[in-house]
Amino acid sequence: MTNRKAPPVKTADNDYGIMFWGPPGPESLDDGNDLTLATKSNHMMRFCESGNSSFITPKCNTENVGKNLKPSSQDGKEVPAKQILAHNGDIVFIAENGNIKLKAKNIWIETTDGDPGGNFMVSANGYINMVSGEQTRIVGSKVCIRGECGVDIGGTDVIIKGTLAYGDYPSVFGSLKAFLAGDWAKILEGIDKSCK
């Protein structure tokens, strides 16, 4: 005997929207839909047998969380008001026609992958500005600062500790083009060659 699925069940259908369980059409057109909720203003929530889900908001979506949470105590433990946990896979934020803004008391970014991963990559078509009210530190087992057109270092006092060595000047222009193209492998390869 063939296990037949139960027919779709419509639980609401009026001038304001529709809610139904199962596929929107006959069994021959089963699209793997579990539950759909849609409104006349084009809001939609959809849950699928595959484990995927989708949410559509035609305009602004706002979440207010943590109003009744107490701030973290002196023991340093976090008190999350919102968490997104991805046990596998990536998390992607895309704002093709807008900006992405992060604002908080403090911001931590940490990479945990092992070699050759664990990288933190930043690319920009325009400026990259870092401004600090206190000390700005760049620390690494080896630090490379390259300027294709020049390097300006200014300050009341400039202190250089260690020996100075002079070498050739391989161009990093190819790496700059790779930045714009999003080719991370070529970026790392170009930086590795120019920063030895």
Per-residue pLDDT tens over the stretch 159-172: 888 887 766 665 55
Residue type for position 6:
A
Taking residues 148-157, what's their average pLDDT? 83
Taking residues 78-105, what's their average pLDDT? 93
More confident residue, 178 or 30: 30
Is pLDDT at 117 greater than 60 in this prediction?
Answer: yes
| Total domains, the chain | 1
Residue pair 16/42 in contact by the 8 Å Cβ criterion = no
Phi-psi region at 66: left, alpha or beta (left = phi > 0; alpha = psi -120 to 50): left
37 inside domain: yes
20 inside domain: yes
Taking residues 159-188, what's their average pLDDT? 61
Residue pair 24/37 in contact by the 8 Å Cβ criterion = no
Categorize the per-residue pLDDT at 69 as very low, low, confident or very high, splitting at 50, 70 and 90.
confident
Categorize the per-residue pLDDT at 190 as very low, low, confident or very high, splitting at 50, 70 and 90.
low
What's residue 5's pLDDT?
Answer: 66
Is pLDDT at 179 greater than 90 in this prediction?
Answer: no
93 inside domain: no
- Across the chain, what does the average pLDDT equal? 82
What's residue 167's pLDDT?
Answer: 63
Structural domain boundaries, residue 40 = 9-56
Residue pair 54/46 in contact by the 8 Å Cβ criterion = yes
**Is the C-alpha dihedral spanning 24, 28, 29, 35 positive or negative?**
positive
Using the 8-state DSSP alphabet, how is residue 105 labeled? Answer: S
Q: How many CA atoms lie within 13 A of 148 on its CB side?
A: 8
Decide the pairing of beta strands 33-39 and 17-21.
Answer: antiparallel
19 inside domain: yes
Is residue 121 packed enough to be buried (19+ CB in 10 Å), middle (13-18) or exposed (0-12)? exposed
What's residue 1's pLDDT?
Answer: 45
What's residue 2's pLDDT?
Answer: 53
What's residue 115's pLDDT?
Answer: 84
What's residue 192's pLDDT?
Answer: 56
